[in-house]
Structure 1
Amino acid sequence: MATRIGIRQLVEFVLRSGNLDESKDSQNTALMGAQIHRRLQKERSADYESEVYLKKVVPMNDEDYVISGRADGIEMTDDSALIEEIKTSDQKYEDLSDNTLELYWGQVQVYGYLLLDEHPELDEVTLQLTYFQVNENKTTTDQEVFKREDLNEFFQKLIDEYEYWLKLRSDMRKTRNESITDLPFPFPEFRTGQHEMAAAVYKTICLKTRLFVEAPTGTGKTISTLFPAIKAMGEDKIQRLFYLTAKQSTRHVAEEAIDLMSNDGLKLKSITLTAKEQIRFPEEKDVLPDKNPFMIGYYDRLKPALKDILQHETSITRSVIEYYARKHTIDPFEFSLDTSLFCDVIICDYNYLFDPLVFLQRFFTEKDPDNFFLIDEVHNLVSRSRDMYSVEVSNERIPSLLKEAAAQKKGTKKLQNQLEKVQKTFDDIRATVEILKKDDLVTADVPVNLMKTMNKFAEFMTDWMKEKEPSDFLDHMRDFFFDCFTFVKIFGFYDDTYKTRIVIDGDKVSVKQICLDTSYFLDQSMKLGSGAILFSATLSPMDYYQNVLGGVENSLPYQLPSPFPAQNQDILVTQYISTTYYQRAANQPKIVDSLYTMASKKKGNYLFFFPSYGYLRQIKDAFEQNHPDVKTVEQSSAMDAKARTEFLDQFIEDPDETLVGFCVLGGIFSEGIDLRGDRLIGVAIVSVGLPGLSPENNLIRDYYDGENGQGFAYAYQLPGMNNVLQAAGRLIRSSTDVGVILLLDQRFASQRYVNLFPPHWNGYKRVSTVQNLSNEIDNFWKGQR
């Protein structure tokens, strides 16, 4: 099957030159652009045909490639032809750069070549570029007649240049596949369940479907997904893997897994994408693109830099990108994206696929069956995706922005006028809500007026910011502009899964578009590849995750048993403790006694988890007052990387004294940390971890009550239980780890929660008193001697 190359992809790669200019040409949605295209196309003559698919098979590097694309419009008569290319943007036509125009005309010239190739009776074609400036509702049209021989020469030059890069990629893939053929599993043997999981992943790739995998801690999820996926890649079942994660720590695990296979002879290109704000060089901060040496002439230096890095590197991490970017004086973030086009494995954050604002357009504008997705710790995607598709704006910053604008020496009158219009719209919203005698209003109505105002403001700001020098004032205006721009973008997705919440708090008016169910959007994103593996240590109940993550009708569930001996952990449920809000004060002494009983039975390191910082401090204060001899450490709400490392470094092997860490469920220490051996011998979890009652969680509850009658479970119980399972999973990290899991809430013993216990918790025990707890823990540790 011939590989398809899009016309835009071909033209942009070969013809791009000059500076990297990140200023967005348009703040309009793809939907709006499509609407403008259709409107203009309907205005054409009866002979005009819209969206005409053109293609040609071209041999390059001893293989056939299909060069294809859709012309916006073609008008044919017996002896003439016209092809129209429509472009939409906010920039004035006369302000477009020479290279932008070269790319526009390049695309339509390829369409012209393909059309004449299909019609040998024609010697020439009229090419028309129609440019629509959205913010001014202005159309500019330019026409030029091209002869057959000129288009033939133009097309052949494109192919000659592109063929070098095709050969480079083809040679790399040939080397890759040869290295994969005899690639061994990078460990002496498979762990329990690991071979089965790898086989399931491989079969899923062959079937081009999706698989939800619950693989308990210790299964070796990363290598169990990457190894079979790379084996399938070696057989050309897929060509590119995206390893998507929520945390930097899991990105490092993926890098290490590929390095392990590389030590055994694997030769492929992998790259880890780093967020723009983290990888940009310090000297680029607050510098306009036309004065940034790493952006000036970027495309003129890009191809030599690509040749350099691809010839010398295989594992392309942040430090590698930074080295070659400095060497060739090009922007490291954009360089990493351009390099990724030639890589086999791309390790990156969820948002590069799923976020509608920052997804990788070079990969995800249309379906590509060569792509496959490995989505790690996928339980995090539930809340992350709601954040991606929700947005909040308020008028809180407008007074200070108006004051700053008035203080400028000149050129802010129009800006002040625009800000006042935005403020008036918020005032109108306030008046509407106050008529209803409310200060918190939830509605299914679309916030149309605010969207229109925000859209006009964003259009104004796009032009206003272009000529401004860096300053604090510009930064403040840009931040507010981005809020408005995001509001408009998300508005394009508004459907019956959304609610609008308006909150009046003094002078502040907030409007939030809340997406309650992102399953459709996630499903559409995953359809851009041939399939996906969605995996985590905690995906129970599986049907819940399939539902909320867009896999009800197009995925298979797969659950693995724990690879570790069940007798290595003692799971105890206290039936004598209630942690409901109104019972907390009365149960505090029993909680403190139970925690101390656990920590006093064996010298070592323990983690105690709580549903909130307030509750954590309440119990910690009481614990320290009653047991001042026990060393404690506390998670704080604003810990940077250094503070996190210092916290974990205190959990040493073979400690001389007991250490108790007080932490928050769902926080930075409840997943993604690895305290192996006796660095951790006990985990206590206080409460069932329900998220706090809130208007937005209640909206999720009400939505799913209407969808399936399980609103409380979907909004509160299941997210809370996932936090519990993640925290408990910190304990047993290897086959030799041993310890106690203590669940301090009588609700854990109810059938509603027992049904959610993973299979390796089947041996849990109920304890009815502190003395009963003491005896059980004594017996457990005696049995480990």
Structure 2
Amino acid sequence: MLRSGDLNEIKNSQNTAQNGARIHRRLQKQRSKDSNYESEVYLKSIVNMNDTEYLISGRADGITLTDAQAVIEEIKTSDQPYDELSDNTLELYWGQVKVYGNLILKEHPEFEHVTLQLTYFRVSTEEITTDEKVFQRDELDKFFQDLIDEYEYWLVLRAKLRKTRNESIQKLAFPFPAFRTGQHELAAAVYKTIYLQKRLFVEAPTGTGKTISTLFPAIKAMGEEKVQRLFYLTAKQSTRHVAEETLELMADKGLKLKSITLTAKDKIRFPEEQDVLPEENPYMIGYYDRLKPALSDLLTNEDAITRAVIEKYAQKHMVDPFEFSLDASLFCDVIICDYNYLFDPLVYLQRFFIEKDTDNFFLIDEVHNLVSRSRDMYSAEVNDKAINSLLKSAKAIKNKSSEEFQKQLKKIRRVFNQMKKVIQEEDREEKITDDAPDKLLNVLGKFDDFMGEWMQEQKPSDFLDKAKDFFFSCLTFVKIGALYDDSYKTRIVLEDKHVIVKQLCLDPSHFIDQSLDLGLGAVLFSATLSPMEYYQSVLGGIDNSLAYQLPSPFPANNQDILITQYVQTTYKQRPYNEENIVTSLVTMIKAKTGNYLFFFPSYSYLQQVKVAFERDNPDVKTIAQTGAMDNAARKDFLEQFQENPAETLVAFCVLGGIFSEGIDLRGDRLIGVAIVSVGLPGLSAENNLIRDYYDKENGHGFEYAYQMPGMNNVLQAAGRLIRSSHDAGIILLLDQRFSSSRYTKLFPQHWQHYRRINSMEQLTGAVNNFWKDHQHED
């Protein structure tokens, strides 16, 4: 309510909540020598807004109360010098203590004034600045009432929006003539999960319509005031668009609610904001002065707040689009966003997720992606590669500031060199330890403190940009270091004379559990969550969640799953099986002209088989995925898959890549998928650490580190084939390991009719017979 003036991007700070609390306790202990001083004083008052009573309360850091006067102290901690704090920041600081002043005067009618003291502790230097102001009762009464009046405006607006929302939801019917197979059951399970405040894992195969089947019942529960806000979290832009389209479909049927899609800061900023300092950015200068009318305009005229809508109103009102979207989200009923806004410890939405709020409920789509994403979120690495070049650049700048910068960098280099020496003396290239890299974390933490002030003094330059890049990697490393526990390992690697230090989170399940516990409950769903116990374990739900697996809604005989017993794809056997693989692929495509996807575990293996295939089949049209395909290249690739093709097209792709999930080739745009190998991730030191960790935890190390991630890639790739009830085609699994019980037990329910193929002749007959039985599809 009190924000005004410019939008100043929050400077990265080492001042954590824990550190701030420690400083508060230290100062409060010093004050306690005065017998009239009391710390953490709870103050409250009941006010009526929009015909509803609200409790206004808070804890003053300290109050000194005598017969003659009351003194209220508010303690603030940060890295910036006090005299460099913005007017807006100071207004917020004083605003908080002025509210406390009004509350204490309400409790003590004998006083006509109160002394308010702001104590500012600068963390990096431990410098303390104290400022005092005396306020009269009538001043604070007016201040408090103005604040309440302003807040009431937004309360009334929100109440009107929710009333309109709930009335529309109560009238809302399912937006299709009938439920598909499994949809009604899934919708009922989601509603029950919200009602019981639980966590539910759901495997909903392709065709279930999982987006409408989760959003519709969750919105119906919202209309009954069981929740107030839904977060629809997903890993991909394409699935965010599906959520938007689903909400639009319900809006066409009468739904009235506010939804917003959050777009990453680097993608939504206007061109004129790029490489511009905040104090020179026209969309940040005076941001808060224009925010309230911008929000009022947006919320009065728009329901579906997509990226384009945010950009339209941000341009109109000259406000930064990213920050505007975050401020607008506070008034929205459905927030569509990436996983990191809830789970990432560095960028989560603090306005929603500082503490538990049972008004919030989470719908987490394509949740199989969260396994690897969460490990990345809670891991960090730093290296010494940039240090020497930064020192060289700094040495050319002849001033005291540059000398201090060099001094700090040399301290970091010294710690890296000590690590390097230990590894070299042991004649190794890497070292794994259970312990956090405390010496490195300590020196990097001090460097981060130094850089906070140093960067503000520098003029824009390439050197400053490079110094900032190194600073941000150090800052991330230190923040992740604060989370280090028994689920972590430290890996120190020597590579081309440089030292790389990684803090690896092997098991982020407890962090995910903590994040999910910030809401009323959650539904975590995907087309592929087999085996369910594995996903519940690695995603923090083994002890506190329910599981539900739906059957495929499509006819089982529309898809033939063939496992070649005569093909081996282990690394040593690949050269000897190349001919069998190529012949099997040719057998598959010769039975019917059409479009086919062939998947491989790596680009090198893809290229090896592709060369052999093209040598023997020069007349067959082929295309291949490459390692660096942008959106245009991806679009061109998919446009090759035409309906009713006159010639066969074969596309060579990589398991786990951009074409193994998130693409929708319906009808005869795709009639066959071949998967070469069981998709195991490559052997690596880090995957081995995951294996060893889970061997100790539950005895399933190989499965958790290699087999399950590989099988998920296989299931996702195979899932490209049958996208509707009219689709038909063949899945060819080219690896004898697929037929072992170790793998067949992982097959989803709709794969249980798989067949083992023992020879090329049997494969020819199976493929020909399948298409003979489906001639009516031609």
Q: Are 1:242 and 1:346, in contact at CA under 8 Å, matched by a contact in 2?
A: yes
Is 1:536 matched up with 2:526?
A: yes
Q: Structure 1 residues 52, 604: CA separation in 2 closer, same or farther (over 3 Å shift)?
A: farther
Aligned amino acid, residue 705 of structure 2: A
Q: Are 1:577 and 1:744, in contact at CA under 8 Å, matched by a contact in 2?
A: yes
What's the CA shift string for 1:307-338, capped at 9, x where partnerless? 11111111111111111111111111111111
- 61-70 or 491-500: which moved more? 61-70
Aligned to 1:400: 389
1:435 equivalent among 425, 428, 433: 425
Q: Are 1:389 and 1:490, in contact at CA under 8 Å, matched by a contact in 2?
A: yes
What's the CA shift string for 1:274-326, capped at 9, x where partnerless? 10000111111111111111111111111111111111111111111111111
Is 1:771 matched up with 2:761?
A: yes
CA shift at 1:540, angstroms?
Answer: 1.1
Aligned to 2:59: 70
- How far apart are the structure 2 equivalents of 1:661 and 1:703? 38
The TM-score with structure 2 as length reference comes to 0.97
Instruction: Give the CA RMSD over aligned residues.
Output: 1.6
- How far apart are the structure 2 equivalents of 1:728 and 1:51? 59
Aligned to 1:4: none
Is 1:322 matched up with 2:314?
A: no
Q: Structure 1 residues 582, 360: CA separation in 2 closer, same or farther (over 3 Å shift)?
A: same
CA shift at 1:457, angstroms?
Answer: 1.2
Alignment of 1:334-733 (within 5 A): 334-408=323-397, 410=399, 411-733=401-723
Q: Are 1:128 and 1:141, in contact at CA under 8 Å, matched by a contact in 2?
A: yes
Aligned amino acid, residue 232 of structure 2: Y
Aligned to 1:6: none
2:22 equivalent among 30, 35, 38: 35
Q: Are 1:241 and 1:345, in contact at CA under 8 Å, matched by a contact in 2?
A: yes
What's the CA shift string for 1:650-679, capped at 9, x where partnerless? 011111111111111111111111001111
Aligned to 1:3: none
CA shift at 1:212, angstroms?
Answer: 0.6
Aligned to 1:734: 724
- How far apart are the structure 2 equivalents of 1:734 and 1:251? 21
Is 1:109 matched up with 2:86?
A: no
- 136-145 or 529-538: which moved more? 136-145
CA shift at 1:458, angstroms?
Answer: 1.2
The TM-score with structure 1 as length reference comes to 0.96
- How far apart are the structure 1 equivalents of 2:621 and 2:387? 49
What's the CA shift string for 1:88-131, capped at 9, x where partnerless? 11101111112211101111222233344345555544433221
2:274 equivalent among 274, 281, 285: 285
- 411-420 or 576-585: which moved more? 411-420
Q: Are 1:273 and 1:336, in contact at CA under 8 Å, matched by a contact in 2?
A: yes
- How far apart are the structure 1 equivalents of 2:28 and 2:580? 74
Aligned to 1:89: 78
Q: Are 1:541 and 1:756, in contact at CA under 8 Å, matched by a contact in 2?
A: yes
- 421-430 or 665-674: which moved more? 421-430
Unaligned runs of 5+ in 2: none
CA shift at 1:44, angstroms?
Answer: 3.2
Q: Structure 1 residues 684, 50: CA separation in 2 closer, same or farther (over 3 Å shift)?
A: farther
Q: Structure 1 residues 654, 55: CA separation in 2 closer, same or farther (over 3 Å shift)?
A: farther
Q: Are 1:286 and 1:470, in contact at CA under 8 Å, matched by a contact in 2?
A: no
Q: Are 1:287 and 1:470, in contact at CA under 8 Å, matched by a contact in 2?
A: no
Percentage of matched positions with identical amino acids:
70
What's the CA shift string for 1:44-96, capped at 9, x where partnerless? 31655544444433221122333233333445567654433221111011111
CA shift at 1:528, angstroms?
Answer: 1.2
Q: Which runs of 4+ in 1 moved over 6 A?
A: none
- How far apart are the structure 2 equivalents of 1:71 and 1:669? 56
CA shift at 1:766, angstroms?
Answer: 0.3
Aligned amino acid, residue 148 of structure 2: I
Is 1:251 matched up with 2:240?
A: yes
Is 1:308 matched up with 2:297?
A: yes
What's the CA shift string for 1:165-224, capped at 9, x where partnerless? 111111111111111111111111111000110111111111111111110011011111
2:216 equivalent among 218, 227, 233: 227
What's the CA shift string for 1:519-575, capped at 9, x where partnerless? 111111111111111100111111111111111222111111111110110001111
- How far apart are the structure 2 equivalents of 1:80 and 1:756? 73
Q: Structure 1 residues 778, 468: CA separation in 2 closer, same or farther (over 3 Å shift)?
A: same
Aligned to 1:209: 198
Is 1:168 matched up with 2:166?
A: no
- How far apart are the structure 2 equivalents of 1:715 and 1:750? 19
2:744 equivalent among 726, 730, 754: 754
Q: Are 1:25 and 1:89, in contact at CA under 8 Å, matched by a contact in 2?
A: no
Q: Structure 1 residues 503, 170: CA separation in 2 closer, same or farther (over 3 Å shift)?
A: same
- How far apart are the structure 2 equivalents of 1:57 and 1:600? 79
CA shift at 1:506, angstroms?
Answer: 3.0
Aligned amino acid, residue 647 of structure 1: F
Q: Structure 1 residues 79, 374: CA separation in 2 closer, same or farther (over 3 Å shift)?
A: farther
What's the CA shift string for 1:342-383, capped at 9, x where partnerless? 111111100011111111111111111111111110111111
- 150-159 or 106-115: which moved more? 106-115
Alignment of 1:1-12 (within 5 A): none
SS in structure 2 at match of 1:136: coil
Aligned to 1:200: 189
What's the CA shift string for 1:588-616, capped at 9, x where partnerless? 11111111111111111111111111111
- How far apart are the structure 2 equivalents of 1:421 and 1:654? 66
Is 1:239 matched up with 2:204?
A: no
Is 1:184 matched up with 2:173?
A: yes
Q: Structure 1 residues 59, 580: CA separation in 2 closer, same or farther (over 3 Å shift)?
A: same
Aligned residue-pair number: 772
- How far apart are the structure 2 equivalents of 1:728 and 1:770? 22
What's the CA shift string for 1:18-65, capped at 9, x where partnerless? 111114163333332233233333333165554444443322112233
SS in structure 2 at match of 1:15: coil
- How far apart are the structure 2 equivalents of 1:653 and 1:51? 70
Aligned amino acid, residue 313 of structure 2: Y
- How far apart are the structure 1 equivalents of 2:661 and 2:308? 26
Aligned to 2:119: 130
Q: Are 1:688 and 1:721, in contact at CA under 8 Å, matched by a contact in 2?
A: yes
- How far apart are the structure 2 equivalents of 1:408 and 1:188? 72
- 422-431 or 35-44: which moved more? 35-44
CA shift at 1:252, angstroms?
Answer: 0.2
SS in structure 2 at match of 1:670: coil
SS in structure 2 at match of 1:661: strand
Q: Structure 1 residues 755, 50: CA separation in 2 closer, same or farther (over 3 Å shift)?
A: farther
Aligned to 1:298: 287
Is 1:264 matched up with 2:241?
A: no
Aligned to 1:16: 3
